[in-house]
Amino acid sequence: MAYQSVNPNDGKVLKSFEHMSNAQLEKSLAAAESCFQTWKHKSYAERAIVLNRAAALLRAHVDDFAKLATLEMGKRMAEARGEVAFSADILAYYAEHAEAFLAPVKLHPKNGEAHVESSPTGVLFCVEPWNFPYYQLARVAGPQLMAGNVLVVKHAACVPQCAIAFEGLLRDAGAPVGAYTNLLISYEQSDRVIDDPRIRGVALTGSLAAGRSLAARAGRNLKKSTMELGGSDAFIVLDDADLDLTIPWAVWGRMFNGGQTCCAAKRFIVLDSIADQFLAKFKTALEALKPGDPMDETTTHGPLSSEAALVQLLAQVDAAVKGGASLLMGGKRIARPGSFMQTTILADIRPGNPAFRDEFFGPVVSFYRVKGEEEAIALANDSDFGLGGSVWTRDEARGKRVASRVDTGMMFVNNIDWADAELPFGGIKSSGYGRELGHMGIQEFVNKKLVRTGHIAAPV
């Protein structure tokens, strides 16, 4: 079967789905194009009715949606509920603000008058990952539907029930057929979609390899794309950090969503004078996490999303140790049913070790000691990725200075709270390009048309 739900807590297959036929795909693309011809003429108020209804349905059925995410990719129930609520917030946020974000902008030429107006571009193809099976969809659906675009979406093959549920949500909210379409398609069919002239833009959240492939294909077709790829975010602990504040964020930053977050804290860069104290407290906090069924509210350490993800992560840790890294804790799978991995800390990671460049998508900490602030900044910037990062210090002005010098799309001082619909999300370097969320997220796939008026004499 092409799309398959497997519960990572016990390895049992829940449900399987076949790929769409090419004929079914064509029908979906035709419906999307047809829908766009009417949806683009709807008022912001009319579109907002649909998005606000969808947000209300998510809030009314939060446990139903959350349970699906927990079953399909192992997200702990409390985190799954939070994701559903945040997804509702995103939809409601754009329902409220889209018209203002896309209002005409008056310009001031020397002669006559001019403005820039925003208009939708058409059918967008979105390819989304499994780690946040609703949030990733909401952050493209909210802005783009409100902008007047329509979406066809290929979700990850391991969360088909979440994908189908989100499509059903928008239908139940009153979205017309073709406004948002879930596509159960193969990689080869994805290429066909990108090549199709009815598709006007491509948005991907996923791996670096997927980003290179889809961006290249979109580029060959001269189609605008946005890419939100991986990350290896630095968690910089300065010598004056408040560890009572910092340690809980360190645990959350590495272990939220089982460590399977693009903008998770992954490289812990700690000034030497505070490193021993930080490490001791961090290890104690990580050791207190309780593995278990993610449906159980007392569980604080859930499974990885799949057996394949676990096998890959174990291989990365083994390669790191063979390359000279020290294993300070963990490094093995947990002896229980399901795809569980021990919380792991690697240290003494040198340039040349694959762990120095790789992204660890799971509960693996890369720990680095540095002599001072300058070395911390240099090490933070010595990465192929540039998604997010954080700085921890009692001196907020110092934290801001350090944050300004780290080459990423997002930096946080004394928090890692990116969960706000108003905050733009995205990175640089191998973490991709473009932004989602905030006022920037709705601008990515709209035509910015200049209109100049005035009786201006032709040049002589």
Of the candidates 167, 262, 359, 373, the residue annotated as catalytic is 262
- Residues with Cβ < 8 Å from 49, sequence gap 6 or more? 174
Strands (DSSP E) found in 60-173 = 105-107, 113-120, 123-127, 150-154
Residue 162 catalytic?
Answer: no
- The Cα-based distances of 155 to 125, 150, 152 in angstroms read 11, 16, 10
- Residues with Cβ < 8 Å from 204, sequence gap 6 or more? 126, 127, 128, 210, 211, 214, 215, 225, 226, 227, 228, 229
Residue 262 catalytic?
Answer: yes
User: Beta strand pairing status for 180-182 and 199-205?
Assistant: unpaired
How far apart CA 275 and CA 24 sit, in angstroms, is: 58
Of the candidates 72, 128, 228, 444, the residue annotated as catalytic is 228
Phi, psi of 399, rounded to the nearest 5 degrees: -60, -40
How far apart CA 195 and CA 217 sit, in angstroms, is: 8
The CA-CA-CA angle for residues 3, 9, 13, to 5°, reads 35
User: Tokens 């990515």 identify what position?
Assistant: 444
Phi, psi of 132, rounded to the nearest 5 degrees: -135, 85
How far apart CA 81 and CA 75 sit, in angstroms, is: 10
HSE-CB at 81 with a 13 A cutoff on CA atoms is 9
Nearest residue to 425 (alpha-carbon basis) of 201, 233, 184: 233
Which residues are the active-site residues?
Answer: 228, 262
